[in-house]
Structure 1
Amino acid sequence: MLNFGPHLGSGRIKKFFGNISFVVLLNLLVKPGWVVVENLVQDRLGHAAFGTFTALFNWTLIVASVSDLGTTQLTTKRVAANPQFLSEYFPTLLPLKGWLSVLFLGLMVGSGWLLGYHGHTLTLLALTGASLLVMQYTQFLRGTLQAHQRFNTDAVLSVLEKALLLVLVLALIPVGITLDRYVGARAVAVLFTFVVLYGLVTRLYGRVRFRLKWEHARNLLQASLPLALITLVYGLNERVDMLMLERLASPAEAGYYAAAYRWVDAVMMYLWTVLPLFFAKFAFVTGKREEQQELLWFGQRVVTVPLLFVCAFVLFRGEVLFWQFTHSTGPELERMTLSLKILFVNVLVHAFFAIYSTLLTSTNHEKPVSWLVAGSIGLNVVLNVFLLPRYGALAAALNTLLCVVFVSGGYLWLVQRRAGVAVPWATIGRLLLAFGLLCGVFWGLQQLFNHWLLEAVGGGLAFVAILFGTGIVRVAELKALRR
């Protein structure tokens, strides 16, 4: 593709690229600081205690994501295609989501009791679950902003919760961090963010009077069911490892995995921040195959390029990310580092192929995607049952990698066969070449300097040259963006 396609145009790409840049900038200002603070929290609480919290948190994430029943993605798609959907269906959607949240909170606590959590641990599960259900409602409201292409406003709100939580946790450090205080701080941050967003949406679109119409509710739930299934399988696919580790291996193994996965989560936030923008854009051009293809080819580079550098650095210098764990032993640090490196190969695969899932789910191909991810979950659970008790966190990391390779291959097949959109194989090939050259640069710098900071700076400068040399970034495109 020479520069930008005729349907997207440099002007529209420039505006959309500006939205993406603003979102990423805000996340870079907040999210790295949060990762450092959470490392400190885990170091103070200990691997076993934090492993227990992580298992609780991931179980509530799974159930909370299901409670949405696909209504967030459905609303984003429908409002992007037809703004009248908001005024017609929101009087039903808002109370419906409230009752679903109450129902799923009960299911969450009951299922936690069946899993073996009792007493004070069950209370922590309930508080964590209630917070996540409120956060799920917040994400639903943010979907309306995305559908109206208010990406910059949505970007500010996307970091508000983490920024507030960062302040609250730092305030707890002088008085002492306990698990109860940590969970309470998360609840306060989530509730405050919800109140701010609800007030903003009310001001932008007017106050909505709740009128639960069962016919509308039934139609909405029928339409959102495929998206709900995808949400369920994605939630299980990403979060079941932590829960199974804590139950089948030990809380300490779950803590090691959590320490490694935290960095994965931090880096993957780039994807989970950028891909919803592409989801809204793909939904906006539903039925326009040429525009979808141009958007996909543009997105392939936007999504993949930044993660190539991060993955290469972690593969060569991942151990420096655990500098805060002063209370951990040498073998514990080695276990966390190896888990981290395996998980970042998983990030690399996501960097190349996650956008294909976004294209499929935003253009009415939810069912085949859900079956594909469900197969990945089955494979993951079987591998976990056999390998986690013996190999712990390392097995969880490897199983995750095998499953993401399986599901990514399916995405490519579905995009070509079902969506009818051409895969940019030449661009993928250039990106793979760039990553290989970058790894070679890191290896050479490691032999020459053996200092992570010098290697990172040298690798970054070399990466810029590699991007231009391989044709991934072109001078003509940069000039078009400046105009």
Structure 2
Amino acid sequence: MTTVKKIARNSLFLLFGQVVSIVFGFFYFVYMARYLGAEDLGILSFAISFASILGLIGDFGLSSLMIREVSRSLAQAPKYLGSILLIKILLSIVNFGAAAVAINILGYSEPTIRVVYIITLYSIATNFTYVFYSIFQAFERFEFQSLGIILNSTLMIVGIFFAVEQKLDLVYFAFIYLVVNVIILVYSFFICLGKFTVPVLRIDWIFWKQIISESAPFWLNSVFVLIYFKVDMVMLSLMKGDSVVGWYAASYRLIDALALLPAVLMSTMYPVFSKFYVSSRDSLEFAFKKSLKLLTIISIPIGIGTTILAERIILLIYGVEYSHSVIALQILIWASVLSFINYTPATYFNSVNRQRTLMMFTFVGAILNIILNVILISRFSYSGAAVATVSTELVVGLLMVSNIHKIEKLSSLLTDVIFKSLVAGAIMAVFLLFFYNYTLILLIFFAAIVYFISLYIVNGFDEDDIHLFMQILRR
């Protein structure tokens, strides 16, 4: 199987799973948001953000390291999987203890504390699931991860609809998250054992020390990234209350859904980049440039279109109660645009053993984000939190791009792609404003057509892009 065919196959499998996840997730989140209201949604969103931040204790970057190393040598899978599972058991105990201590020190109400306990267990189960997903990715068999994502979304939508129909309270909604993810963990465990490898469960202190040392930069990178994507909800909860978190979370949910698009592509490209780094630097450079160009082209019309249509989107999805979410969405969408563009260089750094460099950039981003949130949330509430997120993504992106010296003509490539995409996006914006009151779904569909036709006219695609696209379609 050729590299292009394998990338296309894996991307399609993962894309299908993520599309189902986005659609199902959209329906169950909106259904849940309308039922719970802004205050209870704020509590649940706070718990998820809180557990996500402390959940990093239970990962330590081990899954990312395993993808890179096992993709280079599949024979390493049993040793890596067994060691990482044992380490994660120990880390998960520390994770739950830290969450229990922290949430009690912060002085939250008893119902909020119960929700945090349950969501922390959900986060731990998800961490173990990602270990097995890492094996699927390293073997480049993304169909099993895709099936797990679809199963997760299906069970979630069934559980949420059941809870709403039975008029259950917030704690039961938290239990749904936990139960569903335990089921997915069991599924991924048995698929891994039956299809790929059996872990060698052996305590090897020397090997453990080696992999922890190598994975630490991956972990710190995840810590810093999660801080500037999740700490805002925790700070909003402490400074502004649960309803404000609910309004902000409603917009953030839409941004999270969009983040699945670059995540799909770069999940399939990560093992490819890692192999090319040791086998073909020219192929690595080619794959990097094409990935960066594709994600930039996709992201800019999303930013422009969402900014114009934000009010219609929020009112249609959530209703008048969440009208405060409009301004947050108009700002946060540009964090999503920058995140699309930043995904490729971030994956490149991890693939070429430069995770420590990436760690330093995300550290700068985390510190900047905390400072900006402290300043802006007190004055501008959730709008300030959104501006802090956009600013952080911009700074980290500039640091990454300016540091990749080995990619020839990268700055000129990115400038050219962004300029042409903005020109095409401006034409699309005129179309959207002129036909603003038409049916939303049709408006978005035809706006996309206008954008890509305009991009073609301004030479936003070259012959290599078209040839590569046709090659993928044929396969």
Which bracket does the TM-score occupy, shorter chain normalised?
over 0.9
Equivalent residue number for residue 350 of structure 2: 361
Find the aligned partners of 1:131 and 1:405 in 2 and give their Cα distance: 32
**Residue type of the alignment partner of 2:282:** E
| Change over 3 Å in CA distance of 1:205–1:35 after alignment to 2 | same
Q: Is the 8 A contact 2:220 2:359 kept in 1?
A: yes
Q: Is the 8 A contact 2:293 2:417 kept in 1?
A: no
Q: Map residues 237-248 of structure 1 onto 2, 5 A cutoff.
A: 237-248=228-239
1:168 counterpart (130, 134, 159): 159
Would you say 1:444 and 2:431 are equivalent positions? Answer: yes
Equivalent residue number for residue 377 of structure 2: 388
Tell me the CA shift for residue 119 of structure 1: 2.6
Find the aligned partners of 2:93 and 2:336 in 1 and give their Cα distance: 34
Equivalent residue number for residue 433 of structure 1: 420
**Residue type of the alignment partner of 1:463:** Y
Find the aligned partners of 1:339 and 1:300 in 2 and give their Cα distance: 27
Deviations 1:126-153 (A, max 9, x none): 1100111110111111111111111222
Q: Map residues 416-431 of structure 1 onto 2, 5 A cutoff.
A: 416=405, 422-423=409-410, 425-426=412-413, 428-431=415-418
Would you say 1:296 and 2:288 are equivalent positions? Answer: yes
Deviations 1:280-299 (A, max 9, x none): 21112224321210111121
Bigger shift: 167-176 or 112-121? Answer: 112-121
Find the aligned partners of 2:269 and 2:472 in 1 and give their Cα distance: 18
2:31 counterpart (37, 40, 60): 40
Secondary structure of the corresponding residue to residue 140 of structure 2: coil
| Change over 3 Å in CA distance of 1:96–1:367 after alignment to 2 | same
1:397 counterpart (380, 386, 394): 386
Would you say 1:343 and 2:332 are equivalent positions? Answer: yes
Equivalent residue number for residue 311 of structure 1: 303
Equivalent residue number for residue 401 of structure 2: 412
Q: Is the 8 A contact 2:42 2:246 kept in 1?
A: yes
Tell me the CA shift for residue 71 of structure 1: 0.5
Bigger shift: 370-379 or 419-428? Answer: 419-428
Deviations 1:331-350 (A, max 9, x none): x50x3111101111111112
Would you say 1:374 and 2:367 are equivalent positions? Answer: no
1:218 counterpart (195, 209, 216): 209
Equivalent residue number for residue 325 of structure 1: 318
Q: Map residues 113-128 of structure 1 onto 2, 5 A cutoff.
A: 113-128=104-119
Find the aligned partners of 1:473 and 1:182 in 2 and give their Cα distance: 49
* TM-score, structure 1 as length reference: 0.91
| Change over 3 Å in CA distance of 1:11–1:399 after alignment to 2 | same
Bigger shift: 241-250 or 294-303? Answer: 294-303
**Residue type of the alignment partner of 1:325:** Y
Find the aligned partners of 1:338 and 1:136 in 2 and give their Cα distance: 33
Find the aligned partners of 1:110 and 1:449 in 2 and give their Cα distance: 51
Q: Map residues 114-153 of structure 1 onto 2, 5 A cutoff.
A: 114-153=105-144
Secondary structure of the corresponding residue to residue 33 of structure 1: helix
Q: Is the 8 A contact 1:43 1:324 kept in 2?
A: no
**Residue type of the alignment partner of 2:430:** W
Equivalent residue number for residue 7 of structure 1: none
Find the aligned partners of 2:311 and 2:17 in 1 and give their Cα distance: 26
| Change over 3 Å in CA distance of 1:324–1:456 after alignment to 2 | closer
Secondary structure of the corresponding residue to residue 46 of structure 1: helix
Equivalent residue number for residue 470 of structure 2: 479
Equivalent residue number for residue 111 of structure 1: 102
Q: Is the 8 A contact 2:27 2:157 kept in 1?
A: no
Secondary structure of the corresponding residue to residue 190 of structure 1: helix
Q: Is the 8 A contact 2:401 2:411 kept in 1?
A: no
**Residue type of the alignment partner of 1:306:** I
Q: Map residues 154-193 of structure 1 onto 2, 5 A cutoff.
A: 154-193=145-184
Secondary structure of the corresponding residue to residue 285 of structure 1: helix
Secondary structure of the corresponding residue to residue 212 of structure 1: coil
**Residue type of the alignment partner of 1:300:** L
| Change over 3 Å in CA distance of 1:19–1:177 after alignment to 2 | same
Bigger shift: 204-213 or 351-360? Answer: 204-213
Secondary structure of the corresponding residue to residue 176 of structure 1: coil
Tell me the CA shift for residue 447 of structure 1: 2.1
Q: Is the 8 A contact 1:168 1:185 kept in 2?
A: yes
Q: Is the 8 A contact 1:69 1:227 kept in 2?
A: yes
Bigger shift: 117-126 or 354-363? Answer: 117-126
Which consecutive unaligned segments of at least 5 residues does structure 2 have? none
| Change over 3 Å in CA distance of 1:152–1:427 after alignment to 2 | farther
| Change over 3 Å in CA distance of 1:367–1:206 after alignment to 2 | closer
Tell me the CA shift for residue 482 of structure 1: 4.2
| Change over 3 Å in CA distance of 1:429–1:312 after alignment to 2 | same
Find the aligned partners of 1:294 and 1:382 in 2 and give their Cα distance: 38
Find the aligned partners of 1:391 and 1:412 in 2 and give their Cα distance: 31
Secondary structure of the corresponding residue to residue 173 of structure 1: helix
**Residue type of the alignment partner of 1:394:** S
**Residue type of the alignment partner of 1:366:** Q
Tell me the CA shift for residue 125 of structure 1: 0.9
Equivalent residue number for residue 24 of structure 1: 15
| Change over 3 Å in CA distance of 1:53–1:449 after alignment to 2 | closer
| Change over 3 Å in CA distance of 1:174–1:448 after alignment to 2 | closer
Q: How many residues align?
A: 468
Bigger shift: 318-327 or 78-87? Answer: 318-327
Q: Is the 8 A contact 1:339 1:394 kept in 2?
A: yes
Measured on the aligned residues, the alpha-carbon RMSD in Å equals 2.1
| Change over 3 Å in CA distance of 1:91–1:478 after alignment to 2 | closer
Which consecutive unaligned segments of at least 5 residues does structure 1 have? 1-9
